Amino acid sequence: MTTTPSTPDTRFDAWADKLGHRFDGELVIGGNYTSTMRHGNQIFVSGQVPRVGTTVMVVGEVGHDVTLEQAQVGAQICAMRALALLKSSLGSLSQIEQALRMTVYTRSSPTFTQQSEVADAASQVLHDVLGNAGKHTRTSVGVAQLPKGAAVELDLVVAAATNR
């Protein structure tokens, strides 16, 4: 019996299956901005809310009308969206040399202080899909509101494997 070694792209697909969503459709954005921008071999990814198609999947204030567990699923969807954009931009997630920075914003009730635990769920996706290339620095904050009432939003900076 032989097994095919997993790759970042197959592990991405496995995480999509686990979440029960598809992330390879068009990722529409409005306004005069763009979802990814490359400079040298740094790639910046715009802030992602847990949207699938046109629906924000996890809406509300974490610690009040959204639980930690729901927020963690939201953070995973955000991370998958960011990876989907990088996959689309680079052709393959194996072209990511190293994740550099992730900032995770959790819409927080006045007493909710587990922003790091929400962010952990997104960090886990990066680690599971990208392996060592998924290690990153991180900032987790609790904010008053997010676009469309989303419970969580994150942005990302990564390094691509090769310069253009």
Q: Is 44 in the site for a copy of itself (CB under 8 A)?
A: yes
- Site size toward a copy of itself (CB under 8 A) is 58
Q: Is 10 in the site for a copy of itself (CB under 8 A)?
A: no
Q: How far is the CB of 6 from a copy of itself (least distance, A)?
A: 17
Single out the segment in contact with a copy of itself by CB under 8 A; choices: 14-22, 71-79, 86-94, 139-147.
139-147
Strand partners, 39: 42
Q: Is 139 in the site for a copy of itself (CB under 8 A)?
A: yes
Q: Which residues lie closer than 8 Å to 115 by C-beta, 6 or more apart?
A: 104, 106, 108, 140, 141, 142
Q: How far is the CB of 36 from a copy of itself (least distance, A)?
A: 6
Cα separation values, 142 from 3, 58, 129, 151, 156, Å: 43, 16, 26, 10, 17
Q: Which residues lie closer than 8 Å to 61 by C-beta, 6 or more apart?
A: 107, 108, 109, 112, 151
Binding mask 90-129 for a copy of itself (x = CB under 8 A): --------xxxxxx-xxxxxxxxxxxx--xx--xx-xx--
DSSP type of residue 150: B
Tokens (6 digits) for 146:
């997010």
Residues within the interface to a copy of itself (CB under 8 A): 30-37, 39, 42, 44-47, 98-103, 105-116, 119-120, 123-124, 126-127, 134-149, 153, 155, 157, 159
